[in-house]
Amino acid sequence: MTNIDSSESGFKIESLTLVDCKFSRGPKISSNKSDVDLKHDLQVDVSIKDNQVFVVEKFKIDQSNNDQFEFNIEVTMLGIFSKVGEMSLSLEEFGYVNGAAIIFPYIREQVSNLSLKGGLGNIILPPANFVNLYNNKSSVK
């Protein structure tokens, strides 16, 4: 087992929590993917209190075919991180880039599980560019 030196600079993960999860589907899911309209949206909100960074990350994905609703998945997670020592990153930048990147695999896993259990097949989300999200301070689409 490796010992972690607590005097190192960085951030400590206090908690990662599933805050909200919604799934709905229509009676029919398209097998012909050429006519499908798949939309997704990723949002990150960061707040800072003392030396703690609170990151709320929300991912939405929905699909329709010829304006007929097929499914919708929404997953929101909260990560709480504490600053340990000195860092070159600002707390805000850590939250939008590093904190969001830490949370995203858990959202990917939740979406994948819901899609399989909901009979949609396995939906595997592609990697997200959190540096771009931070630089633009808007949703990644």
Please tell me the CATH code under which domain 11-136 is placed: 3.10.420.10
| Interatomic CA distance for residues 44 and 77, integer angstroms | 10
| Interatomic CA distance for residues 70 and 86, integer angstroms | 48
pLDDT digits (tens, 9 = 90+) for 125-136: 888 999 998 988
80 confidence band (pLDDT: 50, 70, 90): very high
| pLDDT above 90: residue 107 | yes
Span of 7-11, 96-100, 103-107 with lowest mean pLDDT: 7-11
Residue-level pLDDT at 34: 56
Structure tokens given for 26: 């229509």
| Interatomic CA distance for residues 84 and 24, integer angstroms | 41
Residue-level pLDDT at 30: 81
| pLDDT above 70: residue 141 | no
Q: Is 55 helix (H, G, I), strand (E, B) or coil?
A: strand
pTM of the model: 0.84
| Greatest C-alpha distance within the chain | 57
| pLDDT above 70: residue 138 | no
* Long-range pairs, 28-32, Cβ under 8 A, ≥24: 28/68, 28/70, 29/63, 29/70, 29/71, 29/119, 29/120, 30/63, 30/65, 30/70
**Average pLDDT score over the chain:** 87
Residue 34 neighbours by CB under 8 Å, 6+ apart: none
pLDDT digits (tens, 9 = 90+) for 11-64: 999 999 999 999 999 998 887 665 556 788 999 999 999 999 999 999 999 998
